[in-house]
Chain A
Amino acid sequence: MECKGKVWKFGEDIDTDAIIPARYLNTSDPAELALHCMEDADPEFPGKVQPGDIIAAGKNFGCGSSREHAPIAIKAAGVSCVIAGSFARIFYRNAFNIGLPIFECAEAADNIEENDQVEVDMKSGRIINKTKGEEYSAVPIPPFMQEIINAGGLINYVARRVKQNA
């Protein structure tokens, strides 16, 4: 999968209630969740986000609840990846587990602005800001997380282990 698109910029401490408010958690259907993605941070976001677009934000993105619906909503909205200064820990796990690419990079979070055209090389973690002609390096993905990604998400990884145990 390629991460390449226009950036939507958000602030610091974007919580999971902003990403997907609990009033919509009476469903876990990704398409329905996508209709309300980031709604309480920007009510127009679900209408204007295009496939491939990128979310960039400050520190502690995804703080708050453990709801996996948060990365699911972002992924289903067509967002190709999230770049943030840092991620809250449960959101970080959940994003990997469901296959939403995320990149931790304070420099990128500081310098990328809304509407910038950005490309990320998944393998190297190089973040290229086409609009500004800048490059940033994301914190490398830990090898174990890479293994989960290579397996195609946690469930596939676990399925393999289940087979080994059998």
Chain B
Amino acid sequence: MAMTITEKIIAAHAGRDSVAPGELVNAKVDIALGNDITAPVAIREFEKLDVKTVWDKHRVVLVPDHFVPNKDIQSAEQAKMLREFSRRHELVNYFELGRMGIEHCLLPEQGLVLPGDLIIGADSHTCTYGALGAFSTGVGSTDLAAAMALGEIWLKVPAAIKFVYSGELSPWVGGKDLILYTIGKIGVDGARYRSMEFTGPVIEGLEIDGRMTMANMAVEAGAKNGIIIPDDITKNYVTGRARREYDFLDSDPDANYEQIYDFDVTNLSPQVALPHLPENVKPVEEAGDISIDQAVIGSCTNGRISDLRQAASVLKGKKIDPRVRAIIFPGTQEIYRQAVKEGLVEIFIDAGAAVSTPTCGPCLGGHAGILGAGERAISTTNRNFVGRMGHPESEVYLSNPAVAAASAVAGRIIHPGEVA
């Protein structure tokens, strides 16, 4: 039976020759992930079960990244739960402050998630790892608890939607713009319960960081997973990182798709999602005259080295507008080190931007860059819901790192071409 890559991965992990959309299966997981918000709830549920320890101490991964460095006493207690649980169960992949990163930047970098894997994480942006040709999806804490005990998860096989991108990308346009454009076209529930498969010559030419940005935001269209067929770019990325076997799978030419979208992205401008939904997407030229108070560059969506390079290429020799606070969040310690080595951090500091240790921080309105009433941010993060970055009367505009950097310089949302 012809299958998509998603169906093949699920079938392989369910011990089946084939699966079809709508079927419920029990699948083995390769990695189960939790963070300092979701894991405390999972740990409490796990402890209700009559099991001595986790199913595999190498494959339960805990990353305190949301409210870390601990922003207050309560968040310190939550992070402590992860730390103590990791020690008690001798988890190999617990990542402490100073050796950590934002989970969805960290796991691929560390070679913990690989092509052909089936991964669940108690974080909605777990779908990021689809960029490596894995099936990867977000779940809640109780599902994580069950997976920590059994190494299994029940799944409904999703129907698939294929997106084919062709044409030539303009300067300053990348993965973020492609995914914002796509969400703008299909809406925040346009791929609800579906698998989004990103294909076509533009994707084949997209570097791994841009692919991760795209898969990361599949959940913003309601998808169960986003996925890209692994190729030489994937191979280059995982080589030297992987410490176990992995599997390059492909979709069959006659695989079944519920829908196929063809997007010619020649002449696509950098995209901006206006408040308060990621589907309110416009080309940056049509965003209007929007002054900003803050620019956030980083997150699991755009905190990778190529994102920082892009921001630095705009900010080099420039000054952040005096009315704007710009905050850069490298995704991991390794990315931070690389940014220091390449002189990017110096460019940021010279421009008048703050550079933070890796954290989810302001993306979810956690800490380290919260907005007050009436304030506005341009941000390379993934959500612009009401109150997402702070006060319910604040506003978040989503963009790629070049647009965020250029807007920080101009004090209003602009096309990077205007300042770079």
A residues with a Cβ closer than 8 A to B are 13, 15, 17-18, 21-23, 25-28, 39-41, 43, 59-60, 63-69, 72, 86, 88-90, 93-94, 97-98, 142, 144, 153-155, 158-159, 161-163, 165-166
Say yes or no: is B189 at the interface (Cβ < 8 Å to chain A).
Answer: yes
Contact of B41 among A39, A64, A68 (CB under 8 A): A68
Also in contact, A90 and B139, with CB within 8 A (given A17-B387, A40-B386, A161-B150): yes
Chain A residues, Cβ within 8 Å of B121: 66
A-B contact pairs, 5 of them (CB 8 A): A59-B189, A60-B192, A64-B385, A94-B142, A162-B150
Say yes or no: is B366 at the interface (Cβ < 8 Å to chain A).
Answer: yes
Also in contact, A90 and B124, with CB within 8 A (given A68-B140, A68-B141): yes
Q: Are A162 and B50 in contact (CB under 8 A)?
A: yes
Chain B residues, Cβ within 8 Å of A98: 140, 142
Q: Are A17 and B365 in contact (CB under 8 A)?
A: yes
- Identify the closest chain B residue to A88 (Cβ): B222
Say yes or no: is B246 at the interface (Cβ < 8 Å to chain A).
Answer: no
- Not counting A28-B41, A59-B189, A162-B51, a sample of 16 additional A-B residue pairs whose C-beta atoms are within 8 angstroms of each other reads A17-B385, A17-B386, A17-B387, A25-B366, A26-B72, A26-B75, A26-B78, A40-B392, A63-B189, A65-B123, A66-B38, A66-B123, A66-B138, A93-B143, A158-B145, A158-B150
Total contacts A to B, CB within 8 angstroms? 143
Q: Are B146 and A154 in contact (CB under 8 A)?
A: yes
Contact of B48 among A13, A90, A155 (CB under 8 A): A155
Chain B residues, Cβ within 8 Å of A89: 192-193, 222, 224
A3 CA / B305 CA spacing, docked (Å): 51
Chain A residues, Cβ within 8 Å of B112: none
Chain A residues, Cβ within 8 Å of B140: 66-68, 90, 93-94, 97-98
Which 10 A-B pairs have CB atoms at the shortest separation, nearest pair first? Answer: A94-B140, A26-B74, A97-B142, A68-B140, A60-B189, A22-B364, A40-B387, A66-B124, A26-B75, A68-B141
Q: Which of A15, A65, A94, A144 is the most central at the interface, judged by chain B CB atoms within 10 Å of its CB?
A: A65
Say yes or no: is B383 at the interface (Cβ < 8 Å to chain A).
Answer: yes
Q: Are A65 and B192 in contact (CB under 8 A)?
A: no
Also in contact, A27 and B192, with CB within 8 A (given A22-B364, A144-B154, A158-B150): no
Flag B246-271 by CB within 8 Å of A: 1 or 0 each. Answer: 00000000000000000000000000
Chain A residues, Cβ within 8 Å of B122: 66, 68
Also in contact, A13 and B75, with CB within 8 A (given A21-B387, A68-B140, A162-B150): no
Q: Which of A69, A86, A155, A159 is the most central at the interface, judged by chain B CB atoms within 10 Å of its CB?
A: A155
B: number of interface residues (CB 8 Å): 53
Q: Are A17 and B142 in contact (CB under 8 A)?
A: no
Chain B residues, Cβ within 8 Å of A64: 124, 219, 383, 385
Q: Which residues in window 67-121 of B have CB below 8 A to A?
A: 67, 71-72, 74-75, 78, 121
Chain B residues, Cβ within 8 Å of A41: 386
Say yes or no: is B277 at the interface (Cβ < 8 Å to chain A).
Answer: yes
Q: Which residues in window 343-391 of B have CB below 8 A to A?
A: 364-366, 370, 383, 385-388, 390
Q: Which residues in window 28-44 of B have CB below 8 A to A?
A: 37-38, 40-41, 44
Say yes or no: is B149 at the interface (Cβ < 8 Å to chain A).
Answer: yes
Q: Are A65 and B124 in contact (CB under 8 A)?
A: yes
A142 CA / B124 CA spacing, docked (Å): 23
Q: Which of B51, B141, B370 is the most central at the interface, judged by chain A CB atoms within 10 Å of its CB?
A: B141
Contact of B192 among A67, A88, A162, A166 (CB under 8 A): A88
Chain B residues, Cβ within 8 Å of A166: 50
Say yes or no: is B206 at the interface (Cβ < 8 Å to chain A).
Answer: no
Q: Are B277 and A13 in contact (CB under 8 A)?
A: yes
Q: Are B366 and A23 in contact (CB under 8 A)?
A: yes
A68 CA / B145 CA spacing, docked (Å): 12
A161 CA / B277 CA spacing, docked (Å): 40
A69 CA / B364 CA spacing, docked (Å): 14
Q: Are A162 and B149 in contact (CB under 8 A)?
A: yes
B326 to chain A, nearest CB (A): 22
B62 to chain A, nearest CB (A): 15
Say yes or no: is B24 at the interface (Cβ < 8 Å to chain A).
Answer: yes
Contact of B143 among A23, A26, A97, A165 (CB under 8 A): A97
Q: Are A154 and B189 in contact (CB under 8 A)?
A: no
Chain B residues, Cβ within 8 Å of A90: 124, 138-140, 219
Say yes or no: is B340 at the interface (Cβ < 8 Å to chain A).
Answer: no
Chain B residues, Cβ within 8 Å of A154: 142-143, 146
Chain B residues, Cβ within 8 Å of A17: 364-365, 383, 385-388
